[in-house]
Chains A and B, each alone.
Chain A
């Protein structure tokens, strides 16, 4: 190991982050220099934190420089730890307090309309993610983190899971492609992650590998909150195996599709119409429905094109998808509005369900609405729409009490 290490970011555009440089020495104690844009307000607490972390890892003699651009304490601690672990080998972890607000489990069948991707090594994008109210946030250790930053990103994601409040969003982490991704699990499973995204998943075996690793980590933990899995299928082979993947384990709650890699695997371009991926998407939706898990669509990558996104969401919903990733907070509302049932859809569902109840009450074998016959599956679908609208708060759960009054008004 070298005796000098560093971690963090200090580019002109980096904010809410810091860069830590550390050089071990044989004597002279800790020589700390802090350059910070918030020095007049937090200079004292920054120095205190630095000394605390260094002492925790038994670093007693070192030259340490911190260039700070308003990093929150959990970010700075992660940067210090990453720099220290470049120069000393240790199993110890300097953990920020796990917020009470972050100790929740999520229901297997909750809505996952929008999931906001957050690059795992960019604190500025994480800090306010919760205010945009996505159903989920994804702390991304995979494609959004460059190879040389993979290691420091793990500490940042770990500290983020513990110390940052995402305001009720489901907290997901996309690990790296296996087998490297298995190591990522060590720094997320003990820290109340809700869902692990497994990228480039091609067979059920990979799900078992992840679960075995999780079990091993569980064995060292006192409290074991539920961890769900969401494999991402991004290849021709993955699509062929998607049903097996979807039912590989009880904790698989959804399967997502990644179309950039999938189309590359086919050797075709990705078009706005998406004809080239129609088979894969239909296959994935079908497999998920058969396995009883949620089918989740790929991200829409043009953040400036809101109309394109709106169309894409409607197509996606029409194919049977139940959610979509987003790469910018501005996409969230459009995706949520698109996947949630609209007013007309709810009205129609209400009329179908009421017609069904009326027919049952009268003992009629056939349900009809106006001149149209209603089949049982149509009633079932209408009931699902009603349930969804109630759970989203767009429909009162006692809607039947006021239904007749509304109809007559």
Chain B
């Protein structure tokens, strides 16, 4: 297919293609504007008579399971990322595909990590045509350099669920790495030597994929409870030596920062929430991945303790700090989408108030509501923000794809969205005239907290009012930009090639922005 398809300007002023990887694509229309009607995609009908009556779906190897599932050229294979950087299965799938001489597969992970860097060789030799999910680290660089055959598609966690429901992505084979499972395919993430907490990101895959393979290293006698994944969706079960490395769940973006500058940002953010009246008895919050955002919990905990208050619920990614708050009684429930460390895994296993959730409950655009918009405040990271509060979370100012969207876009629907970001990183100003890649519309982004001042979106006159006598350093976003440029200099505009390497989808499946090949 042509990588320089016809472009149109979408509702937020970005030029986007109307066709991606040979399929038609709808340009972004605005927040809440795209509401398709009709019916969701139905999964294929299965009949229980085609499956063993004794419930035993074990096959001898992943290779056999893939062959039995009918793996062939051009298929879409999905995996989940609950092991984060400790995933051992995704690369194996494509090793097998390569041995079988297959071509043009599509990888549909819920996120990618540095451990997936070996897949670049299969992108190079054509085993994999393109990735729909996230392109991090080396995979991001590879994509940005225009080396991937197809166009990458970046989606949020909620957007991934929507894409499956809308039939935008039809999963041929879902491979679900499960820390514990029985021979029927019931599976969970809380038990076993490789416990990773939950399996929510694989839920849609289990329900909608044509074929579902559960891979586990901890096979238990039926029934495996709790069954986070129901065996009734599963075709084959494979027992392997090791399914994932739980110690590698913790990655740089899921650890609390030790940097005094970032801790100050977190503290300022918490103080903003206090003055804005967000922190009150029964409030709810979510902190995204990224050391600064995760550190907010420390300050929220201090404030709640001092005021004798507690939060009703916090949305995870959970880590040990959130777990401590739960155990100390500073929050009633953790509604968790993924566990960021082993304390989170343990808590989910043992504490009934630490509840596992999925993108369906938390983020889904085609659900009858979701949790994300109910949150009082969400604190997220960003690589860039522009003077209209639009933000970027996937590329850096040098244009390279480095991160996935994760739940970031979905979280923007919270009652208050705060991005704590340094004013500049090693001379690179974070506030720009225009973001390199637009991932979130400014109308949903309320507050930018930097170490040198706080900018509130002019649309949020209520917040501006509430903090006006707080003594917090409130400035306009243009003042902050000028301050950074006084220190760093005015950056030149980044140059790109014409070639499209990826598109960024909005939560409703429309195309929000285009990622271009970096200039060599």
Q: Which of A72-90 contact B (CB under 8 A)?
A: 72-73
Given A41-B494, A44-B492, CB of A131 within 8 Å of CB of B428: no
Contacts of B425 on A, CB cut-off 8 Å?
A: 70
Q: Which of B462-506 contact A (CB under 8 A)?
A: 487-489, 491-492, 494-495
A35 to chain B, nearest CB (A): 14
Q: Which of B370-422 contact A (CB under 8 A)?
A: 397-399
Q: Which of B14-22, B256-264, B326-334 contacts A (4 or more CB under 8 A)?
A: B256-264
Cα distance A266–B399 when bound, in Å? 59
Partner pick for A42 among B260, B264, B489, B495, CB 8 A cutoff:
B489
B494 touches A15 (CB 8 A): no
CB of A38 closer than 8 Å to a CB of B = yes
B426 touches A69 (CB 8 A): yes
Given A40-B399, A330-B263, CB of A128 within 8 Å of CB of B451: yes
B427 touches A40 (CB 8 A): no
Contacts of A380 on B, CB cut-off 8 Å?
A: none
CB of A29 closer than 8 Å to a CB of B = no
A16 touches B427 (CB 8 A): yes
A41 touches B451 (CB 8 A): no
Partner pick for A40 among B426, B489, B494, CB 8 A cutoff:
B494
A72 touches B427 (CB 8 A): yes
For B489, give the chain A residue with the smallest CB separation.
A45
B492 touches A41 (CB 8 A): yes
Cα distance A72–B491 when bound, in Å? 12
Cα distance A72–B495 when bound, in Å? 22
CB of B34 closer than 8 Å to a CB of A = no
Contacts of A330 on B, CB cut-off 8 Å?
A: 260, 263
Number of residues on chain A facing chain B (CB within 8 A): 24
CB of A37 closer than 8 Å to a CB of B = yes
B259 to chain A, nearest CB (A): 9
Q: Mark A169-185, 1 if CB is under 8 A from B, else 0.
A: 00000000000000000
Q: Which of B303-335 contact A (CB under 8 A)?
A: none
Q: Which of A30-50 contact B (CB under 8 A)?
A: 37-38, 40-45
For B260, give the chain A residue with the smallest CB separation.
A329
Partner pick for A131 among B261, B398, B491, CB 8 A cutoff:
B261
CB of B460 closer than 8 Å to a CB of A = no
B427 touches A131 (CB 8 A): no
CB of B452 closer than 8 Å to a CB of A = yes
Q: Which of A117-133 contact B (CB under 8 A)?
A: 124, 127-128, 131-132
Contacts of B519 on A, CB cut-off 8 Å?
A: 40
Cα distance A73–B424 when bound, in Å? 14
Contacts of A44 on B, CB cut-off 8 Å?
A: 492
Contacts of A317 on B, CB cut-off 8 Å?
A: none
Given A16-B426, A73-B489, A131-B452, CB of A40 within 8 Å of CB of B263: no
For A128, give the chain B residue with the smallest CB separation.
B261
Cα distance A53–B274 when bound, in Å? 49
Given A38-B427, A42-B427, CB of A131 within 8 Å of CB of B451: yes
A71 touches B261 (CB 8 A): no
B492 touches A43 (CB 8 A): yes
Partner pick for B491 among A41, A128, A132, A329, CB 8 A cutoff:
A41
A131 touches B487 (CB 8 A): no
For A75, give the chain B residue with the smallest CB separation.
B427
A37 touches B491 (CB 8 A): no
A284 to chain B, nearest CB (A): 30
CB of A328 closer than 8 Å to a CB of B = yes
B246 to chain A, nearest CB (A): 27
Given A38-B427, A41-B428, A128-B451, CB of A72 within 8 Å of CB of B260: no
Contacts of A41 on B, CB cut-off 8 Å?
A: 397-398, 427-428, 491-492, 494
Number of residues on chain B facing chain A (CB within 8 A): 21
B401 to chain A, nearest CB (A): 15
Contacts of B399 on A, CB cut-off 8 Å?
A: 40
**B263, B451, B487, B495: residue with the most chain A Cβ atoms closer than 10 Å:** B487
Contacts of A40 on B, CB cut-off 8 Å?
A: 397-399, 492, 494-495, 519
Cα distance A72–B429 when bound, in Å? 12
Cα distance A131–B422 when bound, in Å? 11
A237 to chain B, nearest CB (A): 37
Cα distance A37–B426 when bound, in Å? 9
For B400, give the chain A residue with the smallest CB separation.
A40
Contacts of A43 on B, CB cut-off 8 Å?
A: 492
A362 to chain B, nearest CB (A): 40
Contacts of A329 on B, CB cut-off 8 Å?
A: 260-261, 264
Contacts of B263 on A, CB cut-off 8 Å?
A: 330
Given A40-B399, A131-B261, A131-B264, CB of A71 within 8 Å of CB of B489: no
B140 to chain A, nearest CB (A): 16
Contacts of A131 on B, CB cut-off 8 Å?
A: 261, 264, 451-452
Partner pick for A70 among B260, B264, B427, B495, CB 8 A cutoff:
B427
Partner pick for B428 among A70, A128, A132, CB 8 A cutoff:
A70
Partner pick for A15 among B264, B426, B488, CB 8 A cutoff:
B426
For A167, give the chain B residue with the smallest CB separation.
B452
For A329, give the chain B residue with the smallest CB separation.
B260
B264 to chain A, nearest CB (A): 6
Cα distance A330–B488 when bound, in Å? 25
For B263, give the chain A residue with the smallest CB separation.
A330
For A133, give the chain B residue with the smallest CB separation.
B264
Cα distance A42–B399 when bound, in Å? 14
Given A16-B427, A37-B426, CB of A42 within 8 Å of CB of B261: no
Cα distance A16–B452 when bound, in Å? 18
Contacts of B397 on A, CB cut-off 8 Å?
A: 40-41
A356 to chain B, nearest CB (A): 33
A318 to chain B, nearest CB (A): 27
A181 to chain B, nearest CB (A): 29
For B267, give the chain A residue with the smallest CB separation.
A333
Contacts of B427 on A, CB cut-off 8 Å?
A: 16, 38, 41-42, 70-72
Cα distance A143–B311 when bound, in Å? 48
Partner pick for B487 among A15, A37, A38, A72, CB 8 A cutoff:
A72
**B427, B491, B492, B494: residue with the most chain A Cβ atoms closer than 10 Å:** B427
Q: Mark B417-453, 1 if CB is under 8 A from A, else 0.
A: 0000000011110000000000000000000000110
Contacts of A38 on B, CB cut-off 8 Å?
A: 398, 426-428, 491
Contacts of B398 on A, CB cut-off 8 Å?
A: 37-38, 40-41
Contacts of A128 on B, CB cut-off 8 Å?
A: 261, 451
Cα distance A165–B399 when bound, in Å? 30
Q: Which 5 A-B pairs have the closest CB atoms?
A: A70-B426, A41-B491, A329-B260, A70-B427, A131-B451
Starting from the known contacts A44-B492, A124-B426, A128-B261, 20 additional A-B residue pairs (CB-CB under 8 Å) come to: A37-B426, A38-B426, A38-B427, A40-B398, A40-B399, A41-B491, A42-B427, A42-B488, A42-B491, A45-B489, A69-B426, A72-B427, A72-B487, A73-B489, A131-B451, A131-B452, A132-B260, A132-B264, A329-B261, A329-B264
- Of the A-B pairs whose beta carbons lie under 8 Å apart in the complex, a sample of 18, sorted by A's number, is A16-B427, A37-B398, A37-B426, A38-B426, A38-B427, A40-B398, A40-B399, A41-B428, A42-B427, A45-B492, A69-B426, A70-B425, A70-B427, A72-B427, A124-B426, A128-B451, A131-B451, A165-B487
